[in-house]
Amino acid sequence: MSILIDKNSRVAVQGITGRDGGFHASKMLAYQTRIVGGTSPGKGGSFTSDKIPVFNTVKDVVINEGADTSIIFVPAPFVKDAIMEAADAGIKLIVCITEGVPTLDVVYAYRYASVRGASLIGPNCPGLISPSKSLVGIMPGNIFKEGSTGVISRSGTLTYEVVYNLTSNGIGQSTAVGVGGDPVVGLYYIELLKMFQNDPETESIVLIGEIGGDAEEQAAKFIKESITKPVVAFIAGSSAPADKRMGHAGAIISSGTGTAKEKKAAFEAAGVPVANEPSQIPSLLSL
Amino acid sequence: MKIHEYQAKHFFDTYGIPTAEGVVCKNVNECVDAYHKLGGGTVVIKAQVLTGGRGKAGGVKLAKSANEAAERAASILGMDIKGYAVDRVMVAKGVEIESEYYISFVIDRNSKSTVLIMSREGGMDIEEVAAASPEKIFKIAIDPHTGVPDFLAREAAWSLFSSSNIVKQAVPLIQNMYRLFTDKDASLVEINPLVITAQGELVAIDGKMNFDDNALFRQPEVEALFEPTDEERKEQDAKSKGFSYVHLGGKIGCMVNGAGLAMATMDMIKLYGGEPANFLDIGGSSNPVKVIEAMKLLLADPQVNVVLINIFGGITRCDDVAKGLIEAFKSIDTNIPVVIRLTGTNEKEGREMLLGTAFHSAQSMGEAIRAAVDLSNRE
């Protein structure tokens, strides 16, 4: 079954005529994602080189093509507006790839989307993929394999590294979701763990965390209380110094909290094995 | 991004948040002038540095005369507080404190909103209070679409104060703090302590503001206050060139595509018995210019004796990366061994291009890191 996206998801690409939007729209289309249209204010009525129709507004894509999912490639200063436009148009799942969005913009847009029943993924994320069904993001489809392990990650290429190890060991994925590296993001561990728990196709879960915040600690508690499927974790950043932003806006140990050590301890206390390195994950799953 | 107390005070002043009068001084003479300008009496001489713990370090002292002010200033100016040299102090008018409180607005990841945090335990380390007695801390999540209406500010004020006179002052103070927070894209606006004076006035006798780096592009007034340390300047420079860099101090220079993968690489270096020299996320491009700039940065570190390049090519193609690396190294002169791990799209083609070059090629992350650690420890 997978979660959030499948062959029926009708996807609109916001910012389709931009360099990244155009490039990844082609890649998603090649993966058989149902890209039903894109937006670029002023370029409505045209088509991309892949013959994807371009519209002026998200509402147009929803009305004309029945879009229910959107992926945002617009520059950071315009993301808040893009998320609101999508939510207002009736999009139910909004995936935001863009990095560098001001946090207060995310706070505002997240609330706007929530109130309208739309889920947000990201920002600053690689998107999500249900292998063999749909790719709504920038993840390289060829390293994924359809299977029964759900993947939740705050990272981009580290997710690929982990998935590469899984696939090489014959362990396929039901859905892999990149939640993003920012301090405030949409769907996070707990909501996704719940979805995987309720997904008949998912039998196990891999969680890839990193320093900063306490989402992993909260996830650990939630897993102990409410998740029966086996979970394996990996936490990046054990060697990170305090008070430094390690690339991701949300990856920072501040006032001594948010360390990898604390997160590992929380998972271990919840009975979730924590890998020492990504290549160890397949063997921990087989336990 | 951080700013000094006196700069936060300036923002407070423009937003109608009551503060104690203060003057920024760079030497003892200026401090004595300030003392007189403030009308004598009791003043507080406070080190202005971009770190906490000033009081504990002896960087905050009372003075009751011009001579004392001179003496305190002399002892504080030039002090080192947690690696920061004190080149400025604020001479602030002393205030008769009756009671102290804590109040701040901060971004809260869990509620995905700005929260108002208040406590009667003012003048203390709020994290210690939160750890030891969480019940002493009041938190209100602010709906970004509503802000802080009068009723909410009153509710907050009454939870902290018991006098109408104080609540009347607290309501606009809370609302102004929130306005300042959102207008300037802050990540923290903190007053600790907020005091009630013997005269029944609410005054902020300290102030702290942190700002969202992602929003600096639209906050030129804030960005103008950026005062980086040498390391921070290097990090900022790297950022302007399109990559993220943090110096760590070890011997194995790293270049990785992706922040999470870069962190995992550093972690594994340590796990295998090596010491990472840095964190460096080169992002998604195989552009030779970026590679050259990143390598220059790594090689400028005299402690680096091995370079490890870890690339997982997703959209980025491994043969493009190999091409970029070979191109980059045409203009880089170094004897330092370079270990390259290329996996992902077109990995075979990429690795083939590296055959016959001086690069040590590796297929898996583990292999690459082991090779780098061995080479580094051998040197």
Residue where one domain finishes, among candidates A72, A89, A121: A121
Residue A173 and residue A58 share a domain: no
Q: Which residues of A touch B258 (CB under 8 A)?
A: 155-158, 247
B151 CB-side CA count, 13 A: 1
Nearest Cα neighbor of A192 from A180, B88, A164, B321 is: A180
What gap in Å lies between CA A216 and CA A234, rounded to an integer?
Answer: 10
Question: Which of B17, B177, B347, B117 is CA-nearest to residue A140?
Answer: B347
Q: Are B239 and B342 in contact (CB under 8 A)?
A: no
Q: What CATH number corresponds to the domain at position A76?
A: 3.40.50.720
Is there a single domain that holds both residue A164 and residue A267?
yes
Residue A24 designated active-site:
no
How far is the C-alpha of A167 from the C-alpha of A159, rounded, in Å?
12
Same domain, residue pair A88 and A200: no
Q: Which residues contact A32 (CB under 8 A, 6 or more apart)?
A: A7, A134
User: Look-up: residue for tokens 């007695």?
Assistant: B133
Neighbours of A82 (CB within 10 A): 23
Q: Mean pLDDT throughout B114-141?
A: 94
Read off the pLDDT of residues B53-112 as tens digits, 9 standing for 90 and up.
Answer: 999 999 999 999 999 999 999 999 999 999 999 999 999 999 999 999 999 999 999 999
Q: Which residues of chain A have pLDDT under 70?
A: 1
A143 touches B: beta carbon within 8 Å: yes
Residue A1 lies in a domain: no
Provide the ipTM.
0.95
Residues A144 and A275 occupy one common structural domain? yes
| B32 three-state secondary structure | helix
In a domain, A129, yes or no: no
Q: Is the domain of A172 the same as that of A243?
A: yes
Residues A39 and A176 in one domain: no
A192 in the same domain as A90? no
Q: Which of A61, A89, A121 is the last residue of a domain?
A: A121
Structural domain of A35: 10-121
**How far, in Å, CA of B363 to CA of B371, rounded?**
11
CA A10 to chain centre: 17
CATH number, domain with residue A226:
3.40.50.261
| Average of per-residue pLDDT values in chain B | 94
Q: Is position A130 within any domain?
A: no
Mark which of A72, A93, A121 sits at the end of a domain. A121
Give CA–CA dist B147/B150, Å, rounded: 10
Say if A128 falls within a structural domain.
Answer: no
Residues A106 and A197 in one domain: no
Indicate if A81 and A164 belong to the same structural domain: no
pLDDT tens-digit map of B191-204: 999 999 999 999 99
* Together in a domain, A73 and A198: no
Q: What is the DSSP string of A185-247?
A: -SS-HHHHHHHHHH-TT--EEEEEEESSSSHHHHHHHHHHHH--S-EEEEEE-TTPPTT---S
pLDDT band at B345 (very low <50, low <70, confident <90, very high): confident
A197 shares a domain with A157: yes
Spell out which residues of chain A touch residue B217, defining contact as CB-CB under 8 Å.
76-77
Q: Does the beta carbon of A201 lie under 8 angstroms from any beta carbon of chain B? A: no
Residues recorded for chain B? 379
Q: B-chain residues within 8 Å CB-CB of A138?
A: 314-315
The secondary structure of B292-360 as a DSSP string is: HHHHHHHHTSTT--EEEEEEEESSS-HHHHHHHHHHHHHS----S-EEEEEEETTHHHHHHHHTTSSPE
B285 pLDDT band, cuts 50/70/90, is low
Least confident of A27-36, A187-196, B4-13, B337-346: B337-346
Count the domains in chain A: 2
8 A C-beta contact, residue A270 and residue A195? no
Residue from A248, A260, A281, A282 carrying the catalytic annotation:
A248
Residue A5 lies in a domain: no
Domain assignment present for residue A132? The answer is: no
Q: Would residue A247 count as lying in a domain? A: yes
User: Does A160 lie in the same domain as A115?
Assistant: no
| In-domain check, residue A133 | no
CA distance B254 to B265: 8
B259 touching chain A per CB within 8 A: yes
Asked if the C-beta of B230 comes within 8 angstroms of chain A's C-beta atoms, the answer is no
